[in-house]
Chains A and B, each alone.
Chain A
Amino acid sequence: EAGVAQSPRYKIIEKRQSVAFWCNPISGHATLYWYQQILGQGPKLLIQFQNNGVVDDSQLPKDRFSAERLKGVDSTLKIQPAKLEDSAVYLCASSLGLPWGYGYTFGSGTRLTVV
């Protein structure tokens, strides 16, 4: 079974530039999550999709972050403009959407460095 695919693996940009990350979840997984993990901390949920609808985006900085999952499959997360504090690993995860996160699987993440 293929895992959760993310790209790019690494990205370095200057502050005020924009950047986009891509995630392709496991086939059949209805629920998709984007997390931000700052060095030394646990991941923080940014946004959760159920199919192509948003379930929770309460911690997404909407003035600069946006995410979409138009066809209910793959998803993109965008930052525009980037700030130095956005330097982090951005993790995508997917699950079957059943209670308790059955089948919860993470991608390898995208490491973003803002300089």
Chain B
Amino acid sequence: KNEVEQSPQNLTAQEGEFITINCSYSVGISALHWLQQHPGGGIVSLFMLSSGKKKHGRLIATINIQEKHSSLHITASHPRDSAVYICAVFYSGGGADGLTFGKGTHLIIQP
């Protein structure tokens, strides 16, 4: 069974700080998603990664397939970045392709 572990579970930071959220998994995957969920809102897909690094605005996502690890970085953080960030993976090897989710990182950016 593939486990998806995220850290930290909760993170409070000041506006402008550089934020890093980590995700590790235990078996080979096809791809990894970083998702954002605002309180009471739906889930938005931020990135889908299978290798390397992607950047979108102030968000950067990296993945190291050999180490089975991914990070989500937020530069110049802002209170509107406050949300739950969820790492989710697709397993390798076929079969049903539903995502397996981490428990999420609850981020609060204070002004």
Give me the interface of A with B, judged by CB distance under 8 Å.
31, 33, 35, 40-45, 48, 55-56, 58, 91, 93, 95, 99-102, 104-109, 111
Contacts and interface: CB of A to CB of B under 8 A. Distances in A.
B43 A40 contact: no
B interface, how many residues as a size bin?
A: 20 to 34
Contact of A56 (B35, B88, B96): B96
Contacts of B101: 42-44
Interface stretch (B44-52, B56-64, B73-81): B44-52
B99 A109 contact: no
Contacts of B42: 91, 106-109
A99 B31 CA distance: 9
B96 A55 contact: yes
| Residue picked from A33, A42, A109, A111, most chain B C-beta under 10 Å | A42
A84 to B, nearest CB: 21
Given A55-B96, A100-B90, A106 B50 contact: no
A3 B33 CA distance: 18
Contacts of B17: none
A106 B101 CA distance: 14
A104 B45 CA distance: 7
Contacts of A106: 35, 42-45
B69 interface: no
Given A100-B48, A108-B42, A48 B96 contact: yes
Contacts of A58: 96
Contacts of A91: 42-43
Given A42-B4, A43-B101, A104-B45, 19 more contacts: A31-B97, A42-B88, A42-B103, A44-B101, A45-B99, A45-B100, A48-B98, A55-B97, A93-B43, A95-B97, A100-B97, A101-B31, A101-B33, A101-B90, A102-B48, A104-B48, A106-B44, A108-B41, A109-B43
